[in-house]
Structure 1
Amino acid sequence: MIRRRHLLTAVAVSPLAAPHLANAQAARTVKVGSLRLIHSMTPHFYQRFAPAGLTIEIITFDSPTDGKNAVVTRSVEVGGFGIAAATLGAAAGEPIVVIGAFCNKGMGVVAKTGSGIRDIAGLRGKRVGIWPGSTQEVFALERLRETGMSVRDITAVRVPFGEMHAMLSRGDIDAYVGAEPGPGLSISSGVGELVEYPYGTPMGGLNMILGTSEGLIAQDPALLRTMLTIHRRASEFMMANKAEVADATVRILGAPRAAVDQALGANNVEYTWKLDDTVLRQSRIYAEQMLSLRQIRALPNFDKFLNPRFSNEVATS
């Protein structure tokens, strides 16, 4: 569900903050999909790196699936959302294409303080909040498997990311596998304790990607090259200026400052852009994991689904 639009105007950006980019489109508005998460903040920094005449309109979604659907229907030109949603779409034959990395990590397995849950094995028999179809779900199921368990060994409770902290606080669930700023909020408030950041599997910290549609690649590759250049500059700026990222997250998302500081201070958010060999390999492993879990019926056509062309061009420009 779309929750809001956030329009950033090019005229408010100084020439020094918005250098000229080759092949940029003049007097044009580009719609960019974003999620209401710390690790989806990158589009909010796009405008300062956009060329003159290019206006970025941010459309915020509450679920990765909604973000992916907006790209598929071309309601937005590009969008950042979870690799799970992208893989589900591609495996179903939707014209979704990954053209860049977006953000790694941003996840956390959190238990209620005093629950006695110290590791994944401690989740046995407990009520665990999980959002079905999310990247976090795949990581959770893999960590259960590695521990000799399955989803049948827990009571999985369907909980949206934004409600996980409140449900943990009320005692409606014993633990959750969430997305920042949820884990940061639970830990910083004392309501929850970190069980683990689940990055020890072959999928690493893979989380969000930058996606677009097959049609736009064919129609306007110059625009996509420009957008990935902007995305690169914004991502690199954010990794070097986390205090400014924290300020923007609190201001735009209304997230508690302590939760944001916890997530960024723990290095649990990594803003990325390059679709390199590591991301390509982890994306394939991720899809194979989804297939083994019967979340998809067949692997996507990786030659179409994963397109490093623009990332490679931007890396050498």
Structure 2
Amino acid sequence: MTKPIPPAPFGRRAMLVAAVAMLPAPSIAQGAGQTIRIAVVRATVLAPALLVQQFLPAGWRTDLTPFVAPGDMSNALLTDSVDLAYIGLTIGIVARSREQPISIVANGAGKGTAIIVRADSDIRSIADLRGKRVGNIPLAIHEILLREELRKANMRIQDINLIRLGPADMPGALQRGEIDAFAGNEPNATLAVMGGYGRVLMFPYDNPVGTINVGVLSSDRVTSQRQELMRAWAEAHAKATDRLAADPEGWADLVAREWGYDRTATRRSIDNIELGWRIDARFESQLGAYIDRLQELGVITRKPDMSKLLVKSFVEGVRV
């Protein structure tokens, strides 16, 4: 069941989170059906959240709440308003670096980034971005990957002219000539290419940060006190993820139907998304590199304790 949250000023939203936190937590009786409260950002990379319900045991259900602001999602986890959050990994890293009890409990998806230039430009390499206006989401994974590619080309971020833009604003700014390129997400990268005014310069994954993108977060309270819930969810999350990964057409249909996204653009953008649920050696290596970059940029002042940041036991127990 989807329960949208209307836009609200900060004070009202904080009051809403606090009010929800006062509600009784779901029953944790062994063998009893439960409601799993899931926060999600409406994004193609996070579509498995929509399918978890289908793979839960009888009597279980999901309660999906869409969020926009990562900070609100972090607060919802910390106040026990939700059990799980499908979101980028940064809020978990930042929280745990501050010793707040939020952990990464599963992978979600990788890739989903592209560096797009104007189709009629003479930009053919990262080096050609020197002095150019580049649309950017500050400190998002897309900027981190852009920085990685600049590093490989012996360039600094100061060698380009970063233009702060929201993800959905990037294709239009490129089309109007207000920027020369952007490091953006899907499906906005695909929309620029489909519109004929954008061209893929590169998919920036050949670096230590690599393909890492989004995951699933939870709180220490949930992982320690609601283990039956976590086991049921982990099994369902894995099956939902594998189902969509094996059926990109169905994946596109689901996102278009549930979230109203353009079906054609969604389907094309899926070619640049890599669903996954396992916390494996590759994921841990890329996560470590990502954490290093966040520390270098001052987003975090110290690295989180990885033994607390990563709670791998639930996905490691999955048998699919």
TM-score where L is the length of structure 2 = 0.86
Distance 1:166 1:75, change over 3 A: farther
Distance 1:293 1:163 in 2: 25
Distance 1:192 1:62 in 2: 27
Worse-superposed segment, 248-257 or 306-315 = 248-257
Distance 1:75 1:123, change over 3 A: farther
> Does 2:70 align with 1:82?
no
Among 49, 59, 66, the residue aligned to 1:60:
66
Distance 1:253 1:169, change over 3 A: farther
Per-residue deviation, residues 203-223 of structure 1 (Å, max 9, x unmatched): 221111111011111211121
Worse-superposed segment, 139-148 or 301-310 = 139-148
Q: Secondary structure at the match of 1:300?
A: coil
Among 119, 130, 136, the residue aligned to 2:125:
119
> Does 2:282 align with 1:278?
yes
> Does 2:102 align with 1:96?
yes
Distance 1:136 1:75, change over 3 A: farther
The corresponding residue for 2:311 is 307
Distance 1:85 1:258, change over 3 A: same
The corresponding residue for 1:71 is 77
Letter in 2 for 1:171: G
Deviation of 1:120 (Å): 1.6
> Does 2:292 align with 1:268?
no
Among 139, 143, 149, the residue aligned to 1:143:
149
Distance 1:69 1:189, change over 3 A: farther
Same amino acid, percent of matched pairs: 29
Letter in 1 for 2:312: P
CA contact (8 A) 1:71 1:79 kept: yes
> Does 2:44 align with 1:38?
yes
Among 247, 250, 255, the residue aligned to 1:244:
250
Distance 1:85 1:140, change over 3 A: farther
CA contact (8 A) 2:113 2:142 kept: yes
List alignment gaps of at least 5 residues for structure 2. 6-29
Distance 1:203 1:123 in 2: 21
Distance 1:41 1:24 in 2: 28
Per-residue deviation, residues 168-222 of structure 1 (Å, max 9, x unmatched): 2222322111111111111112121101111101122111111101111121112
Q: Secondary structure at the match of 2:134?
A: strand
CA contact (8 A) 1:99 1:211 kept: yes
What is the correspondence of 1:84-233 to structure 2 with a 5 Å cutoff?
Answer: 84-233=90-239
CA contact (8 A) 1:91 1:298 kept: yes
CA contact (8 A) 2:37 2:63 kept: yes
Distance 1:187 1:50 in 2: 38
Distance 2:221 2:149 in 1: 37
Deviation of 1:74 (Å): 2.7
Q: Secondary structure at the match of 1:207?
A: strand
Distance 1:25 1:272, change over 3 A: farther
Deviation of 1:148 (Å): 1.2
Per-residue deviation, residues 270-304 of structure 1 (Å, max 9, x unmatched): 11111112212221121112212322111011110
Deviating 4+ runs (over 6 angstroms): none
The corresponding residue for 2:15 is none
Deviation of 1:25 (Å): 4.2
Deviation of 1:257 (Å): 2.5
Aligned length: 295
